[in-house]
Structure 1
Amino acid sequence: MEEPAHQFVTIKPSALQIGLIFSRIGLTSFGGGLSGWLLREFVQSRAWLTEEEFLNGLSLAQSLPGVNVTNMAIWIGYRLAGTKGAIAGLIGIILPPAVVLIAIAIAFASVDRYRIAHQLLDGAAAAAVGLSLSMGITAARRVPRRIFPAVAMATTFAAVAVMHWSLPWVVVIGGTTSIAVSYYQLSRSRTDA
């Protein structure tokens, strides 16, 4: 299988570099804010991906089954270093944090009865919400203002939050519709050019 080419990377990162970066991110991040750290690391600090590429990958990762950050680790790893990079990203984001998580669970079991332990967890949860909000605002500012994405977002919100439709059906119907409309718009723009 041919390795993916990336036009913006001047020095191609190794699978080991990718694995170590994901290990560090996984060990130093909490909750849902991981996508913000990934954006900073791979787009802003290292410039291995453009912001548009990153946001496209994030959209793909969120639409696939499984944990978003794991999907992102696989996508980024593959994008930068092929199959070896995807495996390194997956191992890096899962294995070291899993070992630490087991150790923390053992330690937390011994301090669970103290109120301060629960307050610390509430603080970590608040930080994760803030990081997720920051990532959402960054993504919203960068997305081109077009009518169809706004309609799709509003329709999805209404279907899930207001009408309480089953989420898998909303994803299947909304995803299929979005892909079809995007494909139509892309093919139309190519024929116009």
Structure 2
Amino acid sequence: MTSELTEAPPPSLTQIFLAFSKVGLTSFGGGLSGWMMREFVHNRRWLTEGEFLDGLSLCQALPGVNVVNLSIWIGYRLQGGAGALAGALGMVVPALILAVAVVALAGEAVRGEAAHWMLAGVAAAALGLSIQMGLRAAWRVAKRGVAPTAIFAATFLALFALRLPLIWVVVVMAPVGIAHAAWAMSRKGD
């Protein structure tokens, strides 16, 4: 399913900050990128699904926290450097303030067994969002052909079945993917 962008003007810096604040304050763990896709692609239509997944792929290859990298990338895509700053601050600052307040107010309460059960439920929901994102990415790659699908599958197997270190998988598979993409682009020019 592809989402088309509307012809609306790009969002303001305040809108970018508030949108990322909403995501940062209402999301947990690994499900953040799935929530971001829903918010920025499907609800707000600021990006297409392809643009989002391309940005996510790039941000996962960079050092640092993926969703902060992604907030910077999306903000930059929408409003340049100021948008990148608004996106990063919106993602981090309100959630940080809330986390500090919760720990300060309920430090002892979160050590109880009920808190562990609640966090297990949150983790399950985050896992579901991550699986949804992975399936969307896999579907998108599969539509590009056999070679991209093989690269995707080899990367998945290296990381999850063989449990190879991430850095070595990236060092090997990133050049393979880049080489294939360059070859495919050169063939289109022929």
Instruction: Judge same fold: TM > 0.5, yes or no.
Output: yes
Q: What is residue 174 of structure 1 aligned with on the other side? A: 173
Q: What is residue 68 of structure 1 aligned with on the other side? A: 66
Q: Deviations over 1:4-55 (max 9, x none)?
A: xxx8652121111101100111001111111122112211112211111111
How many residues were matched structurally? Answer: 185
Q: What is residue 187 of structure 1 aligned with on the other side? A: 186
Higher relative contact order (CA 8 A, sep 6+): 1
Q: What is residue 114 of structure 1 aligned with on the other side? A: 112
Q: What is residue 51 of structure 1 aligned with on the other side? A: 49
Contact 2:30–2:127 at 8 Å: present in 1 too?
yes
Q: Identify the range of structure 1 (87-96 vs 123-132) with the bigger mean alpha-carbon deviation.
A: 123-132
1:155 counterpart letter in structure 2: A
Taking the TM superposition and a 5 Å limit, the aligned residue runs for 1:75-154 are 75-143=73-141, 144-154=143-153
Q: Give the CA deviation at 1:155.
A: 2.1
Q: Matched residues in 2 for 1:161 and 1:41: separation?
A: 29
Identity, % of aligned positions: 50
2:23 counterpart letter in structure 1: I
Q: Give the CA deviation at 1:162.
A: 4.4
SS in 1 for 2:9: coil
Contact 2:6–2:45 at 8 Å: present in 1 too?
yes
- TM-score if structure 2 supplies the norm length? 0.88
- TM-score if structure 1 supplies the norm length? 0.87
1:132/1:77 CA distance change after superposition, 3 Å: same
Q: Identify the range of structure 1 (135-144 vs 86-95) with the bigger mean alpha-carbon deviation.
A: 135-144
Does residue 29 of structure 1 match 2:11? no
1:91/1:151 CA distance change after superposition, 3 Å: same
Contact 2:23–2:35 at 8 Å: present in 1 too?
yes
Structure 1 residues without counterparts, runs of 5 or longer: 1-6
Q: Matched residues in 2 for 1:135 and 1:161: separation?
A: 16
Structure 2 residues without counterparts, runs of 5 or longer: none
Aligned Cα RMSD in Å?
A: 1.9
Q: Matched residues in 2 for 1:164 and 1:115: separation?
A: 32
Contact 1:8–1:49 at 8 Å: present in 2 too?
no
SS in 1 for 2:107: helix
